[in-house]
Structure 1
Amino acid sequence: MAAEQMAEGPQDGTPLPPARPLDAIDQDILKILQADGRASIRSVAERVHVSRANAYARINRLVEDGVIRGFSARVDHERAGHGTSAYVTLKIVQNTWRTVREQLRQLPGASHIALVGGDFDVLLLVHTPDNRSLRELVLTRLQAIPEVLSTRTLLVFEEEDLEPET
């Protein structure tokens, strides 16, 4: 995409401004907020050695530019009642990514969706209450999508989110 073209927002299609380069302070702010999305403007400002007004303006710009897509909690899926996790690979009909993506977004427990290159086309991370629910999701919901040619399920035995260094 040319630099002067506007990128679309990932979910609602609204245009984003062209990406601006991030300086070291922006990068530090991102690291702090990735580690603690609830960090106060004051604490962020102190840690990156800028004024609160500057930190506030920088965070707002990062949000407006689409660099920061939102703030969320990191969840322990097992403790939250979703003790079964799996990566599901999908082969799909060529040129149906957008249609398939919309259907995958609607799946209960879908946590991450990626279009990838290689032996399969889509990588889907799901969290379900148990193996029975996972089986239902894969055999009934996923395989019922007409554009899905095949699936392969990789059961996750243990997982760990890597925390950004601060």
Structure 2
Amino acid sequence: MPAEQMAADDGSRPPARPLDSIDRDILQILRADGRASIRSVAEQVHVSRANAYARINRLIEDGVIRGFSARVDQERAGQGASAYITLKIVQNSWRRVREQLQELPGAAHIALVSGDFDVLLLVHTEDNRALRELVLTKIQSIPEVLSTRTLLVFEETDLGPEP
């Protein structure tokens, strides 16, 4: 399944099949090392390679696994400024706003949330000047965005499993 289809899951597919302990173990292994070979996964969960391959494909088809990615040190990758930006948006405009936010350079995570604001956006930019430009000229120019608040990230800790 192409990554675009995995990321575009809009709830139109049937729910994922229930996971058993082997499926959960496979997910844990792949979270720690998305490049783990089928052979390695099969050995670690004590199933055949064919069984491991079929299970991983089922997890992908069911949308449980949405894709594979690399954990990146943003600062070392030239993205020295990171921020969480909270947005208040016009009621019922989530889908339109999400589409526009996904196009922003440096947008890393977008979530519709409850509470004092509607959207939480994580961005990574080259520096504070680029962050300022992103917030003031791109995000605040989206018609459905009523207000923003920017929370600078001073330090991050990746809680994902170590490779």
TM-score over 0.5 for the pair: yes
Seen in structure 2, the aligned counterparts of structure 1 residues 14 and 97 have a Cα distance that, compared at 3 Å, is closer
SS at match of 1:91: strand
Aligned-residue CA RMSD (Å)? 1.8
In the alignment, what sits opposite 2:96? 99
Deviations 1:12-35 (A, max 9, x none): 658433211100000000000011
Residues 6 and 67 in structure 2, CA contact (< 8 A), matched pair in contact too: no
Q: Does 1:154 align with 2:157?
A: no
**Runs of 5+ unmatched residues, structure 1:** 1-7
In the alignment, what sits opposite 1:40? 37
**Runs of 5+ unmatched residues, structure 2:** none
Deviations 1:20-67 (A, max 9, x none): 110000000000001100000000000001110100000000001000
Residues 9 and 63 in structure 2, CA contact (< 8 A), matched pair in contact too: no
Number of matched pairs: 159
In the alignment, what sits opposite 2:74? 77
In the alignment, what sits opposite 2:115? 118
Seen in structure 2, the aligned counterparts of structure 1 residues 12 and 27 have a Cα distance that, compared at 3 Å, is closer
Residues 9 and 15 in structure 1, CA contact (< 8 A), matched pair in contact too: no
Q: CA shift at 1:165, angstroms?
A: 8.0
Q: Percent identity?
A: 80
Structure 2 length normalisation: TM-score? Answer: 0.93
Residues 112 and 126 in structure 1, CA contact (< 8 A), matched pair in contact too: yes
AA at the equivalent of 1:93: V
SS at match of 2:31: helix
Moved over 2 A (4+): 12-18
Distance 1:61 1:110 in 2: 29
**For 1:136-147, what aligned pairs fall within 5 Å after superposition?**
136-147=133-144
Residues 110 and 120 in structure 2, CA contact (< 8 A), matched pair in contact too: yes
2:61 aligns with one of 56, 60, 64: 64
Distance 1:155 1:57 in 2: 43
Structure 1 length normalisation: TM-score? Answer: 0.91
Q: CA shift at 1:108, angstroms?
A: 0.2
Distance 1:120 1:72 in 2: 29
AA at the equivalent of 2:154: F
Residues 15 and 62 in structure 2, CA contact (< 8 A), matched pair in contact too: yes
